[in-house]
Amino acid sequence: MLTAEQIVAAHKANLETLFGLTGKAFEGVEKLVELNLQVAKTALSETAETVQAALSVKDAQELLALQASLLQPSAEKAAAYSRHIYDIASATGAEFGKLAEAQVSELQKKANAVVDSAAKNGPAGSENAVALVKSAMAAANNAYESIQKAAKQATELAESNFNAVTSTAVKASQNAARNGAKRGTTAA
């Protein structure tokens, strides 16, 4: 039977966890807002520069060369922006994962303590029931660990795929920029 002190302690721990998760979520949002403000400032500045460059173009060849010179940096910036967002989301998710793992570990310890206490204080003949509960808890712990490993592998695979797609997109933009520059020089 739970005592009033244990109930209060459990509620206190749950509130601390809730506030910790909320704090981590806000940190992630702050990083996203900061990133988006930086991107907006940079985009505004670069747009002004691009407009100035476009207004100073004298012929079609210069226009094609300007267009080609803008393509590659834009793709690289988009890839970098996506990478920053991915990093923020991954870091925030990792923090949530750490807190969840700590909670599960604490629950496992408490459950083991309850089972051990029941085994010591249980009536004669309850050893089989205690062994059954311990076996079920061990199976649940093994299943949880397997799920954690699978989730980590899926995260690593997703990151690998993200890096490959980003790299391919940047290379494609580099090739397109080179082809555009070649067309601009051959048009003259």
Number of independent structural domains in the chain:
1
Residue 178's pLDDT is 66
The DSSP-derived string for 46-111 is HHHHHHHHHHT--SHHHHHHHHHHHHHHHHHHHHHHHHHHHHHHHHHHHHHHHHHHHHHHHHHHHH
State the chain's maximal CA–CA distance in angstroms: 98
Q: Can you list the pairs that 31-36 forms with residues at least 24 positions away whose Cβ atoms lie under 8 Å? A: 31/88, 32/85, 32/88, 35/81, 35/84, 35/85, 35/88
> Tell me: the pLDDT tens digits for 100-154?
888 878 878 877 777 777 777 777 777 777 777 778 878 877 877 787 787 777 7
- How far out from the chain centre does Cα 40 lie? 22
Find the domain containing 18 and state its range: 4-186
What's residue 29's pLDDT?
92
Low-confidence ranges of the chain (pLDDT < 50): 188
Q: What is the pLDDT of residue 1?
A: 55
